[in-house]
Amino acid sequence: MDKSIITKNFSKNAYTYDSYALIQNNCAEKLLAHINGRKVSSILELGCGTGSYTKLLERRYEDAAITALDISGSMVDVARKKAGDKRVEFVVADGETLPVPGKFDLITSNASFQWFSDLDRTFEALSGRITEGGVFCFSMYGPETFCELKEVLIHHFGERRWLSSSGFPSRDRVESLLKKYFRDYDMTEEKFSVEFPSLRDFLHDIKHSGTRGEGLGDNVFLGKYMMRDMEKTYIEKFGGIIATHHAFFCKAEV
């Protein structure tokens, strides 16, 4: 995963992101429900993006100090404008480096960990940054995200790893890391399906929501006739332009 490309894509679309991140916002609300109203006074959020989940944390935990990190300065700029409380400290940084000191009652992340390079090292580091009685709660995308598009691309261009989502960690991988570094954990899995009017609309959506990852590469040209043929294949295989978002929701304690 080339993190510089991913960061560039998110930064480029920071000011349009909220209009396209409907599933990410849905995941944020579901993630907050997994925390179950636990009382906390300090929160570390990794991959805060434009701050939509940060706002939910602000409202839920009115007395907690929140530190929110994101690798994209443009995304953090949007998040700062959206935040309504000085309790939130925004930091432009790669969450894998954990550049902030101290321990936290809640460490959390919404739809971000699939972009991390080394989850093993990250989970190990985070397990040592949670206070006694604290909790680690996160959502992340799984490898079946956009499985329909992957199948259509293979049909037209041949077998290869077309989408960044194909490299997202599997459920077994995530569970093995939770078992390795945490005393107890709970993990659930959900799939969300979205239907688009056309393939062009779908590709436009994933471009502006940042979920395109590294993109398809420079050697793929989706001209008018190829788009027409791909859309026809898509509809024949799936009955419409359907996009699956594959998500894990996890809660762990040290």
Domain ranges for the chain: 3-145+166-193+246-253
- Structure token pair of residue 159: 């077998």
pLDDT single digits (tens) 210-242: 665 555 655 566 889 999 999 999 999 999 999
End-to-end CA distance of the chain: give it in Å, rounded. Answer: 29
Class of 3-145+166-193+246-253 in CATH: alpha beta
Average pLDDT value over all residues in the chain: 92
Q: Put residue 84 in one of left, alpha, beta given phi > 0 → left and psi -120 to 50 → alpha.
A: alpha
Residue 220: what pLDDT?
66
Q: How far apart are CA 150 and CA 159, in angstroms?
A: 9
The model's pLDDT over 66-118, given as tens digits with 9 standing for 90+, comes to 999 999 999 999 999 988 767 899 999 999 999 999 999 999 999 999 999 99
Task: List residues bridging with 101 in a β-sheet.
Answer: none
The alpha carbon of 140 is separated from its chain's Cα centroid by a whole number of angstroms, namely: 5
This prediction has a pTM of 0.92
